[in-house]
Structure 1
Amino acid sequence: MTTTVFLFRNDLRLTDLPGLAAASRAGDVLPLYILDDAAAGDRALGGASRWWLHHSLQALGEEIAQAGGQLNLLRGDSAACLRELLASRDITAVHCSRAYSPWEVALEAQLREACNALGVTFKRYPGTLLHEPEHIENQSGAPFKVFTPFWRHCCRAEAPAQPVPLPSETTWAEPLAQGAPLRELELLPTNPNWAAHWSTLWTPGSEGARKTLERFLQDRVQHYASGRDHPAEEATSRLSPHLRFGDISPRQVWHTARATLQQQPALEEQINKFLAELGWREFSYHLLFHFPSIEHAPFKSQFENFPWLGNETLLRAWQQGQTGYPVVDAGMRELWHTGYMHNRIRMVTASFLTKHLLTHWRTGERWFWDTLVDADPASNTASWQWAAGSGADAAPYFRIFNPVTQGQKFDADGVYVRRWVPELAALPDRYLHRPWEAPAAVLEEAGLSLGSDYPQPIVDHREAREAALAAYQEIRKG
């Protein structure tokens, strides 16, 4: 009987893993996860994502145990760990799901080399995208650079493959003697444990992902197209961290959503809008694969010379939710307390940092990388570059979100702001998104002292907008 290692990566589930199914058909399966922070470099997981990884690995381990096996955990250099394992066990192949970020592509080459040197087959399989990047091209045979034609092409292409079940006759190889307990990966925060309450907010793992998708398609999707822009409404799927760590595959989401649409044709607009958001994730990965430099450099080269300011005091105010603009502060506080931020508010807060504060998009991207449970190397980068105006299919630079009107439009009754900025709770709706304009009597009645209980705006919107446009004009001249 042959033994195949299945190396888990961003795919912490047992269903719809073509590589795992192939390994099962070939013989015994040795399930393995290696935490390799050194290989990841500056893409080593941030604190919030490490919390999610811990619990997703825990859930995967329990799932494998119920199936009669044991998840093996190692920490260190992936190639070295694999070479040691292959030298000590009779293993014929190593399978994994393909990854697309620059460091993961480089790691795959190292793992292939290590396997080949020992006469072991190394094989990658699809599983983390709807379509492989090489399969989606424009009429010139080049990668798409604009989302709408990209997604239109995807929707006209052959439908994503059906999810692959794990064979019922799967047999598991004997566990590794040198495997590490999950706690030794040191993924959870301590001193202080700032995520102590997160287990009441999230359920990492494939079962949590399945229930989250089910709940969304049974209820929230009915108002998705309009409700998704309103942060106080429970209209979004909240599947992003599950997709990030592969608790569920995009193909599972796609086919489940399409099945719901067949049963309820009246939901066509809502479900198509939801699937388009899955398409943005897809587009982001295609960009990262074809243009890997976008992790660090602007997609639009003219932004190489943009005169970013990078004021540390203003940055700290933004990070702490103390900008004086309520909807921005609500978003930043939601992020800190939950590891998540509503998508509309992500756009508003990113626009504020890059355009009101003229702070480099990489600075904001790094903060989100550390604080989001769904911090994704493709979506995080593409979305920040979109907000900054430097990315593919980016918002025009002169489109500068007004944080007051954004709050008034998408949080008109102030439910979202009052939840996360409780010091403003007693202000009437009229002044909630612009407290600095409230008369003294109104502030007194609300028990609010601006500059003490809540800050004055750290920048004036009109002046900041003019400064951002002037900076943009400078690089256009160049």
Structure 2
Amino acid sequence: MERKALVWFRRDLRHFDHAALYHALRDNDAVYAVFVFDRDILDALPSRTDRRVGFIHAAVLELDAALRARGGGLIVIDGRAEAELPALAARLGVDAVYANHDYEPQAIARDAAVAEALAAQGRAWRSFKDQVIFERDEILTQAGTPYGVFTPYRCAWLAALTPDHVASFPVAEHLARLRPPPVATPVPSLDALGFSACNLADLELPTGMSGGETLFADFRDRIDAYRQLRDFPARKGVSYLSAHLRFGTVSIRQLASYAWCHGGQGAETWLAELIWREFYQMVLWHRPEVVAHCYRPALDALQWDDWPEGFAAWCAGRTGYPIVDAAMRQLNQTGYMHNRLRMIAASFLTKDLGIDWRRGERYFAQQLNDYDLAANNGGWQWAASTGCDAQPWFRIFNPVTQSQKFDAEGRFIRRYVPELAAVPARFIHAPWTLPPVEQAALGLRIGADYPAPIVDHAAARARTLARFRVVAPAGADAP
């Protein structure tokens, strides 16, 4: 009797080195593939022009074409995954549904509901590790507890790594078992899904598996310089693969394997960044309450400022601090923000403006093309000094010195804050210090054409220190 299976693609939009697809093809005679534009996710998005939906749509089109070229194809559904997957499995008469693990709380609950519904039909739910090298309880302290500090986690991660952990799944050997959709229907358009197209080409973000490979090939030529260049937003120093990692159009095993085998300071530093990603995934899985609460519970007592005007200025890139404003405008215009700038912008919101990290985390969640709950939450709690392995609360980024260090000539600032394009480099990091006569000569009025600083950094720093001293855990006193 022919064994049939259904593979549910989610944040793994590729047909190569894919754990669930490999196991389904190996263990069954006929394999169907499905992708669901999940209304539980789409309907909660605040914008009908969300760039991520465009990115996913393009990736789904490419995946469908790749599967069709190999005798299969995607069944694409617009609906609620929790209801649609069991119904589709019943219509196809499959023995099991295969998928890759997801570690976010809502996804875990969704998958449990799907598995329960399938079980009621007498069908199996089978899921596999795919988006990380190590997951859940695979890297623990010697005491058998989750790590709360990154450096020892990284050391344990590297010590545990073997070639088997980064070996690719040989999907191609079994692709003859793919089956096309029973009814040939095209992938629905963005309009049909209720979304407007955005021009991803203008964002310099190539999509799909081919886009991921293009970016990775380009980065391989630059990886040796990664450590030296990664903190400078005006330089081409990072991989730009974060959105592709988020949606699985690249394989984490292939990326980690390359970095591990290539060696050298650049590759080792980049591999550490991939390990940070898994560290935060591990934290979220063990401590799902961090979505809404501080990792360190005592810090939930922090009294943040309620300052709508300050938050609006930060969101719009109108704080009067050029590096912060350039970062926020880049985010709003492109959906991307350089990692160094994420730290600066988050520190400014929480430490200069005194605004709750959760508000900034939610804004990034709406805007980032590469939004990942674990990494976004972990990064924000690091910057706010409320998380595991956090920036010590008494160390506060100075936006001017950060700007001087990482965008010395103001190249990045000038790109995204054109009001300051003609300002000399010695003034561009703190344009309010530009003498009025020179402002007039440039046709620039600070406070009119470009805002004056909405806070004084030194005074804001003092307020933050006072805020944290009230609730800082014992032993964490400032020197």
TM-score clears 0.5: yes
| Farther-moved stretch of structure 1 (339-348 vs 13-22) | 13-22
Provide the residue aligned with 1:457 in structure 2.
Answer: 453
- Range that drifts further, 373-382 or 42-51: 42-51
1:189 deviates by: 4.7
User: 1:200 offset after TM fit, Å?
Assistant: 5.2
Report the alpha carbon displacement of residue 196 of structure 1 after superposing the two structures with TM: 2.6
Is the CA contact (8 Å cut-off) linking 1:53 and 1:187 kept in structure 2? no
Change (3 A) 1:254 1:183: same
**Does the 8 Å CA contact 2:299/2:472 hold for their aligned counterparts?**
no
CA–CA distance in 2 between the matches of 1:378 and 1:187? 27
Report if the CA contact (8 A) 2:135-2:281 is conserved.
no
On the 8 A contact 2:229/2:235 being kept in 1, the answer is yes
Which of these residues, 335, 338, 343, is aligned with residue 342 of structure 1? Answer: 338
Tell me what 2:295 maps to.
299
Secondary structure of 2:440's match? helix
Paired position in structure 1 for 2:477:
none
Aligned to 2:269: 273
- Answer yes or no: is 1:166 the counterpart of 2:194: no
How far apart, in 1, do the equivalents of 2:193 and 2:336 lie?
18
What letter matches 2:132 in structure 1?
Answer: L
> How far did 1:90 drift?
1.9
CA separation in 2, counterparts of 1:339 and 1:198? Answer: 13
Looking at structure 2, the residues matched to 291 and 112 of structure 1 have their Cα atoms a distance apart, in angstroms, of: 23
Partners of 2:18 and 2:171 within 8 A in 1: yes
Q: Give the deviation of 1:183 after TM superposition.
A: 1.6
One of 98, 110, 118 as aligned partner of 2:121 = 118
Q: Which amino acid aligns with 1:236?
A: V
2:380 is the counterpart of 1:384: yes
Identify which range, 46-55 or 460-469, moves more after superposition: 46-55
Structure 1 counterpart of 2:325, from 325, 329, 354: 329
Contact 1:45 1:369 in 2 (8 A): no
Q: Does 1:17 align with 2:18?
A: yes
User: In the alignment, what sits opposite 1:183?
Assistant: 189
Question: Which runs of no fewer than 5 residues in structure 1 stay unpaired?
Answer: 262-267
Correspondence for 2:253: 251
Deviation at 1:43, TM superposition (A): 8.6
> What amino acid maps onto 1:23 in structure 2?
A
User: SS at the partner of 1:324?
Assistant: coil
**Distance in 1 of aligned mates of 2:12 and 2:46:** 17
The answer to whether the 8 A contact 2:200-2:206 is kept is no
In 1: Cα distance, 2:47 partner to 2:253 partner: 25
Which of the residues 86, 90, 93 maps onto 2:96? 93
Question: What's the RMSD between the two structures over aligned residues?
Answer: 2.1
Q: Could you tell me which amino acid in structure 2 is paired with residue 385 of structure 1?
A: Q
Distance in 2 separating the partners of 1:144 and 1:184:
42
Identical residues among aligned pairs (%): 36
How far apart are 1:66 and its partner, in Å?
2.2
SS of residue matched to 1:167: helix
- 1:30 aligns with one of 14, 19, 32: 32
Helix, strand or coil for the counterpart of 1:123?
Answer: strand
2:74 equivalent among 65, 71, 76: 71
Please tell me whether the aligned partners of residues 58 and 182 of structure 1 are also in contact (alpha carbons under 8 angstroms): no
Separation (CA, whole Å) in 1 of partners of 2:210 and 2:160: 30
Answering whether residue 262 of structure 2 is matched by residue 260 of structure 1, we say yes
CA deviations over 1:330-371 (Å, ceiling 9, x no partner): 000111111101100000000001111111111111111111
Residues 320, 201 of structure 1: CA spacing in aligned structure 2 closer, same or farther, 3 A cutoff? Answer: same
Q: 1:138 to 1:179 in 2, by over 3 A?
A: farther
Match for 2:154 among 151, 155, 161?
Answer: 151
2:3 is matched with: 2
In structure 1, the residue matched to 2:422 is 426
Shift in alpha-carbon separation, 1:123–1:235, aligned structure 2, 3 A: same
Q: Which moved more, 1:94-103 or 1:15-24?
A: 15-24
